[in-house]
Every structure is written in C-alpha cells, then in structure tokens.
Amino acid sequence: MKGQPIDSHVHFEKTPEIEKWFRAAIKADASDLHLKVGMVPKMRVHSKLKNTTGEIMTQERAEELLFEIMTPQQKQFLLETGSLDFAYQVGNTDRFRICAFRQRGMLSMAARRISSQIPPFESLHLPPVVEKIAENHDGLVLVVGPTGCGKSTTIASMIDHINSTRACHIVTVEDPIEFLHVDKRAIVSQREIGIDVADYEDALRSLMRLDPDVVLIGEMRDNETLTAAMRAAETGHLVFGTLHANNAAQTIQRILDLFPQEERDLARQTFALTLRAIIAQELLPGIRPDARRVPAVEILIRTPIVRKLISEQRENDIPTAIRAGTGEGMEDFTESLRRLVVDEWIDLRVAKEYAPNVEELEMALKGIRSSTTGIL
C-alpha cells in the first residue's frame, strides 16, 4: 500500500534515537536497514542481509523509534492504513526512504538509503558512448535489464553528467528516489511517488508545466507512461526511463506490447521516431579488487537503419544491426563480454555463464564474428 504524499520535513528538538541506526548504515555502506519485532536490526550490504549487534527488537521499542520521527498526521495514517511511506534526512548527503508497515499485527520498517554520492562514468566501467548518449538534447533513452543490474546507477551517472555540463532543468519522477542530485550547472527537481506526488499519473499530468529540458521517468510501466515519455521526446526533451527487459530487441517488443492492438502501429512509428538509444546491461562478478561487479552491456543507437527496422516490424534483425553498428558506438553482449575478458575485468568462466551464445563468444575471442550483411 502506498502512503499519501506527506510533508516529511519535520524539525526535531533533539536528534532522534533512530538516527544512530541510519548513521551506522551509512558507515557500513548499506543500501537498506530493516527493523522487525523479534529480530535484531539487519542491514543489506552488497545485496546480502546481515545481522547487526543491536538488541532484539520489541514492539514497544519499534514504536518508540519510529513514532519519534513521525508527525501526528503520519502516525494516524499508519495506524489507519497499516502502511506509510516517508523520508528522513541525515546531514546533507544521505536520505532514507522509509516504509513503516504492520505485519502479523506488529510494526516493522524497511528503510532504503538514498545517497548523493553518484559514481562517475569511469568508475562504472561503461563504454565511452554512454557519455555521448547523455549529451543529446532530445529523444528517448531507455536503460533496461533485470532487477539489481545497476540501471538506476547508470542513469544517475548520466543525469549527473548533464547536471555538471549543461545549464538546464532536470525533472525526475521516481518510485523511489535512488540518488540525490545536488544542483550544479543545472537545476534538478526530484519528485518521489508517495511523498512529493500521489502517483505517476499526477506527476506526468503536470510534467510539462515544470518547464523541463531533461526528464527521468523511473519506470515505463504502462502505455500512459510511455506515451507521456514519447510526447516529451517529440517536443524536444531528452527523456530517460527504465524497463525490465534482457536486450534491445526484447525491449522494443515489450514497449509495443504495452499498447492495445489498434494503437500499436502508431506507437511503433512514434517510438521509431523518438528513440535515441537503448542500453541493456547485466552486472557480473569481477576479478579485480577495485571492481567487485562489472556491467556487461548491449547498446543500440537509433541510426537510419535501426529506425527502418523498427518501423518495418523487423525486430529480429536488430542484433545484426547492432553488430554492424560498431562505428556508431553500438555493441552487443557478446562483444562486451569479449572486451571484459580480454581486459581482465571478468573471468572467462563467468563470461561463458552469461553469454547469450557460448560458441559465438568463443569465436569472438578468436577474432571471428558472424556476418553483419543482409539487414537492408
């Protein structure tokens, strides 16, 4: 259940006791903090839940910790509905998005850490073309992949690059906010669903009234969201979004599947016109101490050939177009895996485990690639 948008800017006469847990989570570089009655507090560090040295949480203790940082209105909303989303700021660099909820009649909390420390491109080991994609002034850029593949981090890095190099207005609509952006050359307005605005529908309805130049729509979840994104891209805005898909060709199909059959032809032509790039990625275990996880990527750039293939319903030819488009900065997963192995970022065994086609990867490592002709 989503909480209503509630003012979370509460002023405290003394530092709330729960803040020590938030600061401990920051120190441990944890992504999440969990409080549950009957268990010690837990932190999620590098994707794994770990016990803390705290005492076992009681119902009374959980209420003390959480009610101290709630307004009377927030407390009442939680008691009436059983769930509340709100935010808590720690210093100037970190914020926690808190979901307080009842389970088995007892109070629990899941708090997601939102940091302003955004990793630069070079630390993410992404291809240089990703930075060039961020320098466009219009079009739709989709970053896709499974949950936990680093989509939000990649987009945050691209947004930060724009923020650092371009005087513009960046508006994000997120559920939840993953990274806090500090104004640099740009103005960055971040709207969080459930806190700053009721839902995506309300946020998108007012989007153009905010005078944005760059837009991030956290997730392309339905045809209304995508229609709003394409409309913004058509009118000269650079629009970022995410989607759960494994590769560029699957992304195109899933995008079009969001539309009713009678609207699909128009949606296809509009998508072919507004698409700027698709970045599909997967995080792989690295072999260097300074790179525990490294992204393998597939990058599709909307060239005239790619636009033609999308318009003509030839998604099956997209992989061939990607292999033929290396001069445009395109790259498929096989080439990305080959590069990561050769540059000693990942082990060959890992590359084969994640390869779409192991035989093709082995050929690529020997300098042999399949034909890229015949897509016109």
Residue 151 has pLDDT above 70, yes or no: yes
- Residues 120-139 have pLDDT tens digits of 888 899 999 999 999 999 99
Tell me the one-letter amino acid at 41.
P
State the average pLDDT over residues 153-173.
97
Residue 5's pLDDT band (cuts 50, 70, 90): very low
Q: Rounded to whole angstroms, how far apart are CA atoms 212 and 291?
A: 35
> What's the mean pLDDT when you consider all of the chain?
91
Contacts of 310 (CB under 8 A, 6+ apart): 252, 268, 271, 272, 275, 318
* pLDDT the model gives residue 87: 83
Give the strand pairing for 214-217 and 238-243.
Answer: parallel
* pLDDT the model gives residue 91: 84
Residue 16 has pLDDT above 70, yes or no: yes
State the average pLDDT over residues 78-95.
88
Q: Is-cis flag, bond preceding 128, omega within 30?
A: no
* pLDDT the model gives residue 374: 55
* pLDDT the model gives residue 1: 38
Domains in the chain: ranges and CATH: 19-115 (3.30.450.90), 121-365 (3.40.50.300)
Radius of gyration over alpha carbons of the chain, in Å?
Answer: 22
* pLDDT the model gives residue 2: 44
Structure tokens at 302: 């909307």
Q: Rounded to whole angstroms, how far apart are CA atoms 333 and 36?
A: 41
Residue 166 has pLDDT above 60, yes or no: yes
Contacts of 42 (CB under 8 A, 6+ apart): 33, 34, 36, 49, 50, 51, 52
- Residues 313-357 have pLDDT tens digits of 999 999 999 999 999 999 999 999 999 999 999 999 999 999 999
What pTM value is reported for the model? Answer: 0.83
The answer to whether the beta carbons of residues 345 and 294 sit under 8 Å apart is yes
